[in-house]
Structure 1
Amino acid sequence: MDFHHVSVLLNETLTGLAIKPDGIYVDCTLGGGGHSHAIGEQLSAEGMIVGLDQDVAALQAASKRLEDLSCQVKVIETNFSNLKQALLNAGIEKVDGFVFDLGVSSHQLDTAERGFSYMQDGPLDMRMNQSGALTAEAIVNTYSSEELYRIIWEYGEERWAKRIVEFIEEARAEEPIVTTGQLVDIIKRAIPAKVRQDGPHPAKRTFQALRIEVNQELQILHDAFVDAVSMLNPNGRIAVITFHSLEDRITKQTFKELAQGCTCPPSLPMCVCHNVPTVKAKNKAIEPSQREVEENPRSRSAKLRVAVKL
């Protein structure tokens, strides 16, 4: 099975991580292994790359791809929300760099039966972890109209959310919505033709919203970043690549929170919160070059943020 995935902002990520040849680096979203392989090429035999992923197909493909590296390689089947425990279980207490690439891998998008793609017909699934209980089909057919509206409006930032939900309700009253093709047709009917002429695919935002809900993507980000930073060595780095504004906002806010010192009101004569900054982070995100966007259109919305452990 070809698990082809073009790593976005690859050189910028490597620069941001400031790799030490004998360091330990953790790729929290192993996917096709692109970032891991590029990091591993800069490591000596003493260095180590650890890859985490909850997708068994990804782990198998990436393990194969990383075989030619001369550094130590460890792959662990887990969601990055468990990164701290998973690393401690593997005997790793301190790390020199973490990378999170929060996009769906090209392989997942291109495999119709995974149900992530609005370009190909397949079952409405969208589970990153295929043993998970919740699917996109269950959400579309069983969530109340209020819940559906909230998800599509909040997670998809879709301004036609209300109409889309009305059309979904109408359709599911006739028969269950079980394929991506069915859902795409419903969304296309809901969004006026004039609006559909410009901009991204009309189903893009709704599919994004469903994927985030299925995999509980936003809920786990803040805590995972905090856990990662707690395991970094001094001067260790955390690099996060996001693909939409919600993920980027959580990343930016978490870094800001970790970079903040005293939070006491200015009126207090002395500090009682004892908060000390744990990271230093640049305020501006790094975006792909025009050339990268032309070569890989999927990188268009990507942003990279890096924080350094103090």
Structure 2
Amino acid sequence: MSNSANIAFIGGGNMARSLIGGLIARGASAASIRVAEPVEVLRESLARDFGIEVFATAAEAATDADLWLLAVKPQVMRVVCEGLSTLAQSRKPLVVSIAAGITASQMQRWLGGDGAVIRAMPNTPALLGAGVTGLFASAQVDAAGRARAEELLSSAGKTVWIDDEAKIDAVTAVSGSGPAYVFLLAEAMEAAAKAEGLADDAARTLVLQTVLGAARMLTESDEAPEELRKRVTSPNGTTQAAIETFQEGGFEKLVGRAIHAASERGRELSAAND
């Protein structure tokens, strides 16, 4: 594969690892993938597990690549981009960022121009190939760039394009943070099951399989969540008693408030890093 097809991952953490694994599983050449990771033990692990080239600095990895995937924390994104700005102006790469709260215009400014930038918000189930990623492209990204970014991120699950960048914070709040909401529900259900007298192992198995089964019904059925809920809620039955208790506590409004709070925090992160 030529250098023009190389991908540089700037940051070699869990999300980068999952994307790399997905790419290789789909037939990508290990020789086309380069990773910059300052932590030596992570570099060694990536090289050993995938047979890819690894580097200690971002510039080394990015030099021979025309797609850069920035997988670093929002707090260090500016420093990373400014360190790559000279190279970015000469290579004109397609830049894909998975950092929450950092806008395309911020990255363009820090990289020293108005290059092609895509914001991506994957979630942690991507580590299992079962994730979903929201994508937003700056005006400089052409159809080929969109297709290449979608191919890269689809290695971790489904992708959804967002036309308005302001809505990326909502994507972060719904799907980026969303797995934690499900984990919290499972945590609470397991604790309640134990409080009702179930043994620890029984409580855990019942909760985990219930969450798994419900998720499969949602994804494998054409029915809306509301309809599926109604089907398992018999009038005056046990499920109705539970649902009414949730609703009396303001469940739907609480979920709305929580997702709005996460969206607001995303906007705050952007402002804090400007």
TM norm. shorter chain > 0.5: no
Using the size of structure 1 for normalisation, the TM-score is 0.26
Structure number with the higher helix fraction is 2
